[in-house]
Amino acid sequence: MTDYKYTTECRSCGNKYINDFLDLGAQPLVNALLTKEDLDKQENTYPLTLAVCGMCSLVQIRETVDPSILFKDYVYFSSQSKTMVDSARECVNKVIIEEKLNKDSLAVELASNDGYLLQHYMKRGIPILGIDPAENIAKIANDAGIKTLPEFFTTELADAMVKDGMLADVVHANNVLAHVADTNGFVAGIKKILKPSGLAIIEVPYIGDFIEKAEFDTTYHEHLCYFSFTSIDRLFSRNGLKITKIERLPIHGGSLRVFARKSSYWVDGSVTEIFNEEKAKGLELGHYYFGGFGTGVSFEQRVFNKMTKFWSNVHELAATGIVCAYGAAAKGNTLLNYNCPGRVPSLIRFIADSTPAKQGKYAPGTHIKIVSPEHFRNYNTKHCIILPWNFAAEIATKEADYTRGSGKFWIPDEKLGLKEWK
């Protein structure tokens, strides 16, 4: 298949010796939702393999699917999540005060999606620019008055922005660095478009939480890299950015919010704290990902055991009543396509999702139909598995009537397979 490449060198430091530690087999693209007509066609799948670099400690997948296939027509809308919007608003309000931004400033977001973050700057009178390659989503943002370029952020685009005098006081890049094949070019581009005193704010899911909680379902072809502080610090230093502060966030199962500048005379204590924490755990060393925390059980075996319990529990639930799922999220599709029994639609009746663009379509690989939340509320199911477990509280609150009746919400769990959400 010519629409993906197999990577043999580290995406960050170029080291030729990276070691595999999780093979998820052949997986469909998690956001390649199917129409009814697609169900009888051959569905493309791609290998999905996690590896770690012993030199810079970056965790990465081996496979790079053509980004134009992944991102040009996207079905994930950040504004659909209240958690995401609230987190963005809180961050923006703090940045405006601390960086003293005004009508002469410029706030840029890379992979700006539908403007979920930039809208908060716009409402405060701060000039904005979004950059996002998903043409359908960029159009929605532009229609809402949020200026968005429907392009990939590259060093060439960064050079064009500099030539046009479009230097930023703040550059946000939330949950996009993991999607980028040319990590060095992306970070170098951020440095180029920053003003001398500018601030870059990057959010990435944290590999420490990923390993400790066996969050393997956040692995998919869009996520090329999985960062520790150590690996992102080495990447930034290589490209002339200095990390000045780190915040730990609960979002997405555990994330890092990284603050970086072109130069700095002051570094927050949070940087030293996480550096020492990772060193004590040995997280910057390749063998951390194979050792099982002294249990003798590899990460790959932990994942296999988790999903064996998961599917066993789904069978048990299905024997007592109708089972459905909530949230047709990317992580849910990775989860359902790994070690699955082959007849998932007969076990899980449907997946409810609030995104209109997903409704009426079918989940890749498993072919479970995606329906509206209204359908979920009117259908008599006894058990509902929340696939985007990182938004479980938000979903359970929105659908509180479900548990006031006889329904039960469940989330994936390493020890139990499925754990009731209460």
Say if residue 406's pLDDT is above 80.
Answer: yes
> What is the arithmetic mean of pLDDT over 348-352?
97
Does residue 47 or residue 265 have the better pLDDT? 47
Grade residue 298 by pLDDT with cuts at 50, 70 and 90.
Answer: confident
Distance (Å, whole) CA 346 – CA 323:
9
Distance (Å, whole) CA 224 – CA 218:
11
Grade residue 209 by pLDDT with cuts at 50, 70 and 90.
Answer: very high
The percentage of the chain sitting over the pLDDT mark of 70, rounded to a whole number, equals: 95
Does residue 78 or residue 354 have the better pLDDT? 354
> What is the arithmetic mean of pLDDT over 285-299?
70
Say if residue 294's pLDDT is above 60.
Answer: no
Strands 370-371 vs 351-352: parallel, antiparallel or unpaired: parallel
Question: What phi and psi, each to the nearest 5 degrees, are found at residue 4?
Answer: -150, 155
Say if residue 368's pLDDT is above 90.
Answer: yes
Distance (Å, whole) CA 56 – CA 68:
28
Q: What mean pLDDT, rounded, does the chain reach?
A: 92
In angstroms, the Cα distances linking 245 to 98, 121, 196, 201 are 13, 22, 18, 10
Say if residue 68's pLDDT is above 80.
Answer: no
Longest dimension (CA), the chain: 65
Task: Give the tokens for residue 116.
Answer: 């979920």
Grade residue 135 by pLDDT with cuts at 50, 70 and 90.
Answer: confident
Of the ranges 92-101, 296-305, 335-344, which one carries the lowest mean pLDDT score?
A: 335-344
What confidence score (pLDDT) does residue 387 get? 97
What confidence score (pLDDT) does residue 71 get? 64
Sheet containing 18-27, strands listed edge to edge, beginning at the edge strand earlier in sequence:
18-27, 46-53, 59-61, 225-226
> What is the arithmetic mean of pLDDT over 288-313?
83
Nearest residue to 121 (alpha-carbon basis) of 111, 131, 129: 129
Distance (Å, whole) CA 231 – CA 19:
15
| Spatial contact of 148 and 160, defined as CB atoms under 8 Å apart | no
> What is the arithmetic mean of pLDDT over 349-366?
95
Does residue 376 or residue 281 have the better pLDDT? 376
User: pLDDT tens for residues 73-126?
Assistant: 555 566 667 877 888 899 999 999 999 999 999 999 999 999 999 999 999 999
| pTM of the complete model | 0.90
In angstroms, the Cα distances linking 414 to 304, 308, 384 are 10, 10, 18
Say if residue 62's pLDDT is above 90.
Answer: yes
Distance (Å, whole) CA 271 – CA 287:
23
User: pLDDT tens for residues 246-291?
Assistant: 999 988 789 999 999 998 778 999 999 999 999 988 887 767 787 6
Question: What phi and psi, each to the nearest 5 degrees, are found at residue 317?
Answer: -65, -40
What confidence score (pLDDT) does residue 18 get? 93
How many CB atoms sit inside 10 A of residue 102's CB?
Answer: 12
User: pLDDT tens for residues 213-244?
Assistant: 999 999 999 999 999 999 999 999 999 999 99
What confidence score (pLDDT) does residue 373 get? 97
Pick left, alpha or beta for residue 62 (phi over 0 → left; psi -120 to 50 → alpha; otherwise beta): alpha
What confidence score (pLDDT) does residue 75 get? 56
The percentage of the chain sitting over the pLDDT mark of 90, rounded to a whole number, equals: 79
What confidence score (pLDDT) does residue 190 get? 98
Full set of structural domains in the chain with CATH: 4-62 (no CATH), 78-264 (3.40.50.150), 299-421 (3.40.50.720)
Task: Give the tokens for residue 351.
Answer: 């997946």
Question: What phi and psi, each to the nearest 5 degrees, are found at residue 28?
Answer: -75, 165
User: pLDDT tens for residues 163-184?
Assistant: 999 999 999 999 899 999 899 9
